[in-house]
């Protein structure tokens, strides 16, 4: 469903120095409902890959196909219409939420904005479904971000990403601010989304042990290149 071939991105200041291009010919794939892990040291270029796939950064070159269509291709601009089906779950949920907006509104807004529902009543119904998918109670809807835990805030962010019916979620260090039990809960949600809805996941973390537990197929990024990790290493 996602096929990345020879993706390149360098930033001006480090273009001259060899071995410092964050993304230098990266190729990998993610299947339907598959959970793939991506590890690498801080500064290796993991978030750069995430941003290229979401279209918030422009690739120097590369060929990326998503659900059979060209997402990034030679001489073409990023296909934003297609890219909407790729949603990013960032590291800091509180930075992704408006501190003055009630969580209920944070969820109904994308539904109404993208015309994914007919009216406010349908939006509220859909929000109830989304909450179930992330194991949250409805009483959270009236609260502000400052009135929930980090794990709950991250689950709201996931619910909001799910509102636009993505086929791929990219979780960039999405659980690194959370404790073990909140982390386990999020990974449980990811497994269920993959297993029951066939949503694909690209999990990004600097923590190899975490990725070993979460993803069957894993890649390691170093010096701009990806290597598939085989066996238990
Ligand atoms: N917009 C930018 N302009 C210039 N350099 C950038 C930009 N974004 C990232 N970089 C550089 O590219 C390299 C890779 O950054 P990136 O954020 O992708 O690393 P990362 O693997 O996600 O690291 P971390 O684990 O710390 O999140 C770093 O050297 C960073 O300073
Ligand atoms: Mg990063």
Determine how many CB atoms are found less than 10 A away from the CB of residue 186: 21
pLDDT reading at 176 higher than 80: yes
pLDDT reading at 48 higher than 70: yes
Give CA–CA dist 139/191, Å, rounded: 25
Q: What is the pLDDT of residue 74?
A: 83
Ligand 1 centre from 67 Cα, in Å?
Answer: 27
Burial of 208 (0-12, 13-18, 19+ CB in 10 A): middle
Query: Which residue out of 23, 42, 43, 226 has the highest number of ligand 1 atoms within 8 Å of its CB and is therefore the one to mutate?
Result: 43
pLDDT reading at 232 higher than 70: no
Mean pLDDT taken over the chain: 93
Least confident piece of the model among 10-19, 63-72, 78-87, 221-230: 10-19
Q: Is 22 in the pocket of ligand 1 (CB under 6 A)?
A: yes
Q: What is the pLDDT of residues 111-142, one digit of tens each?
A: 999 899 999 999 999 999 999 999 999 999 99
């Amino acid at each position: 469903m996602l096929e990345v071939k020879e993706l390149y991105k360098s930033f001006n200041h480090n273009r001259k120095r060899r071995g410092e291009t964050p993304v230098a010919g990266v190729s990998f794939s993610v299947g339907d409902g598959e959970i793939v892990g991506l590890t690498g040291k801080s500064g290796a270029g993991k978030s750069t890959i995430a941003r290229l796939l979401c279209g918030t950064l422009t690739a120097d070159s590369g060929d990326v196909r998503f659900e059979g269509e060209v997402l990034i291709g030679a001489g073409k601009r990023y296909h934003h219409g297609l890219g909407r089906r790729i949603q990013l779950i960032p590291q800091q949920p509180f930075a992704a939420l408006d501190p003055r907006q009630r969580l209920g509104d944070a969820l109904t807004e994308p539904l109404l904005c993208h015309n994914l529902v007919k009216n406010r009543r349908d939006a509220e119904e859909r929000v109830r479904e989304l909450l179930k998918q992330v194991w949250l109670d409805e009483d959270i809807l009236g609260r502000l971000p400052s009135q929930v835990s980090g794990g709950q805030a991250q689950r709201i962010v996931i619910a909001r990403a799910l509102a636009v019916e993505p086929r791929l979620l990219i979780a960039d260090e999405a659980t690194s601010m959370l404790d073990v039990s909140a982390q386990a809960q999020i990974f449980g949600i990811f497994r269920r989304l993959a297993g029951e809805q066939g949503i694909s996941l690209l999990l990004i973390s600097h923590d190899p042990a975490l990725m070993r537990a979460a993803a069957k197929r894993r890649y390691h990024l170093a010096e701009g290149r990806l290597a598939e990790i085989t066996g238990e290493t």
